[in-house]
Chain A
């Protein structure tokens, strides 16, 4: 069987390192060299090692793609995000990779740094480290010891474990498919399989090899060094400008935050929290995404949240020439009819959950949306569409007029200061933490 492997390998034309299969004196690593007799049978170990190398390079490429996209967004502007495993594929403004990137799970230390440190940076470091280790062992070929292959196997388990964890989060929490992330999951598995093969084929060290544990420790330190070096580079070069001050002080203030018409909705009241008012449209995808980010950030619990409805639907909103979110007027009426926090929030959650279907249903008029609302919330059926309900929606819109707000949603005001648009996604935790605390960065 070993003979057959060797023939196949030689036929494919790849180098097998030392032609005679014996280590040179200076090749001996820490006092252990495989026995001369082992060289012949261990030549095919390069095949799984090359698999680990290629998978690691692929992982590094995917992680670099994600990290580059993430870094581009640190200029606080709108960019497209690559969402394909094909190198050079066209990037898009809206795709699963962008959804995942904007979720709080895409980076760590978000409250400490604008955007935080992306997980993909750690992935880049790990895959580069694996590529280095695999390349080194490919070079060594048959000299690869069980300890070295074992370390490589252990190291490849890290991206596998992370892939399983983040794959689950993407599926269960974020609800979006990130193709580039999926590419990382696949190459992580391939690297592990390759490392397993190399471990099986590697030469066994003498029993009680005293250097094995030390080499394992050195390997761990090398890996940590890769992660540490890239993290330090990120922190050293992360953009820091006056834009941070602009974000914390906000982009505008409310001139008439009062609610004489009683149109504010209790979104999530947390007595003692920083008073906040969100201008939102229940059928606005950006509002839905923002709501999710706010919840996942955990900062919502530090806000005493109220909302003013601003449906971007020309059926009731005279500021639009055509509806951006048809049906939003009807849903807004239902929220205002529902009254208390629990009921209004239930309507909002229902609208968020069925947003795409409701927008589609309302293309030819909001009648179908009103029917669905009445079926889902019988308690509001008697109120929906009445002059009182319609008048409340008008009053909500006029609250925005009184405050001369931009015609857009969502907008969040904390203590009367407007969260800047560029801080509503990657910089949300960083900026909002400071706005809530009233502290400068």
Chain B
């Protein structure tokens, strides 16, 4: 057998076997590529705001009514006076407070001195901690109250001042453009939905004794995990 024949006998399979293999691998890849179904990508979860289990349709409807009337939705101005809150909520005092009971782990109660709208250092820390715990929530409620000492009109102004005090600190500290869209203020004075002593067991800014009067010299702050 001559040299060329011997070379050919060895060279042909050495070249054509890998050629066939390469063609086969790439052909199979192209078939799979053409058959690819990209609809599976749609099954990946999409980033969204949170909605907690307590957000029942009824609760969301109430929160939406309160939020709209109180300036959180529609940007028609911020702040809900006691009478307005009472009307839009269409709830009794107890029913109104019951709305917030599921927020026990999420809410904080910022306490004030009697006849004062100034945040003390522990109040500042509480407000900041509550604000930083936003996570996926859409609305930050500040529900301020006053104890029934003194005149009703004065207590209404006092509770409004406490709510604004919280808002003012948030704006100053965080300079967050979302504050205008996310923070809703309600000031209830002494007229509506006073807190009972059972709220003394919630996360408060002060650790000292807690009476019904003291717990109502406060601003209740909490993120609401309801997508409304």
Tell me the A residues contacting B by CB distance below 8 Å: 26-30, 60, 64, 67-68, 71-77, 121, 124-125, 128-129, 131-132, 135-136, 139-140, 222, 226, 229-230, 233-234, 236-241, 243, 246, 251, 260-261, 310, 316-319, 386-388, 390-391, 394-395, 397-398, 400-401, 403-408, 421
In the complex, the answer to whether A135 meets B14 with C-beta atoms within 8 Å is yes
In the complex, the answer to whether A239 meets B30 with C-beta atoms within 8 Å is yes
Task: Please name all residues of chain A whose beta carbon is closer than 8 Å to the beta carbon of B30 when the two chains form the complex.
Answer: 74-75, 237, 239-241
In the complex, the answer to whether B136 meets A318 with C-beta atoms within 8 Å is yes
Select from chain A the residue with minimum beta-carbon distance to B31: A75
In the complex, the answer to whether A64 meets B18 with C-beta atoms within 8 Å is yes
Task: Please name all residues of chain A whose beta carbon is closer than 8 Å to the beta carbon of B17 when the two chains form the complex.
Answer: 128
In the complex, the answer to whether B18 meets A222 with C-beta atoms within 8 Å is no
Task: Please name all residues of chain B whose beta carbon is closer than 8 Å to the beta carbon of A29 when the two chains form the complex.
Answer: 3
Taking the closest CB of chain A, its distance from the CB of B46, in whole angstroms, is: 5
> Given that A29-B3, A391-B174, A397-B47 are known contacts, is A234 also in contact with B128, CB under 8 Å in the complex?
no
In the complex, the answer to whether A234 meets B45 with C-beta atoms within 8 Å is no
Bound CA–CA A27/B2 (angstroms): 5
**A233 contact from B22, B46, B133, B177, Cβ within 8 A:** B22
The answer to whether the Cβ of B11 comes within 8 Å of any Cβ in the partner chain is yes
Bound CA–CA A72/B29 (angstroms): 5
Number of A-B residue pairs at CB separation under 8 A: 163
The answer to whether the Cβ of B39 comes within 8 Å of any Cβ in the partner chain is no
Select from chain B the residue with minimum beta-carbon distance to A225: B15
In the complex, the answer to whether B132 meets A27 with C-beta atoms within 8 Å is no
Bound CA–CA A276/B190 (angstroms): 54
Task: Please name all residues of chain B whose beta carbon is closer than 8 Å to the beta carbon of A131 when the two chains form the complex.
Answer: 14
Taking the closest CB of chain B, its distance from the CB of A81, in whole angstroms, is: 14
Which positions 94-153 of chain B face chain A at CB distance < 8 Å?
Answer: 128-129, 131-136
DSSP majority for the B interface?
helix
> Given that A121-B22, A237-B30 are known contacts, is A27 also in contact with B3, CB under 8 Å in the complex?
yes
Chain B CB count within 10 A is highest, among A26, A30, A131, A318, for: A318
The answer to whether the Cβ of B41 comes within 8 Å of any Cβ in the partner chain is yes
Bound CA–CA A390/B131 (angstroms): 9
In the complex, the answer to whether B18 meets A125 with C-beta atoms within 8 Å is yes
Cross-chain pairs A/B with CB under 8 angstroms, 20 sampled: A26-B3, A27-B1, A28-B3, A68-B21, A68-B25, A71-B22, A71-B26, A72-B28, A128-B14, A132-B14, A136-B11, A237-B26, A237-B30, A239-B29, A239-B33, A243-B33, A387-B174, A390-B132, A394-B134, A395-B176
In the complex, the answer to whether B44 meets A76 with C-beta atoms within 8 Å is no
The answer to whether the Cβ of B53 comes within 8 Å of any Cβ in the partner chain is no
Bound CA–CA A243/B33 (angstroms): 8
In the complex, the answer to whether A76 meets B33 with C-beta atoms within 8 Å is yes
Taking the closest CB of chain B, its distance from the CB of A65, in whole angstroms, is: 11
Taking the closest CB of chain A, its distance from the CB of B138, in whole angstroms, is: 10
The answer to whether the Cβ of B207 comes within 8 Å of any Cβ in the partner chain is no
Taking the closest CB of chain A, its distance from the CB of B133, in whole angstroms, is: 7
Task: Please name all residues of chain A whose beta carbon is closer than 8 Å to the beta carbon of B129 when the two chains form the complex.
Answer: 387
In the complex, the answer to whether B41 meets A421 with C-beta atoms within 8 Å is yes
In the complex, the answer to whether A136 meets B10 with C-beta atoms within 8 Å is yes
In the complex, the answer to whether B136 meets A401 with C-beta atoms within 8 Å is yes
In the complex, the answer to whether A75 meets B6 with C-beta atoms within 8 Å is no
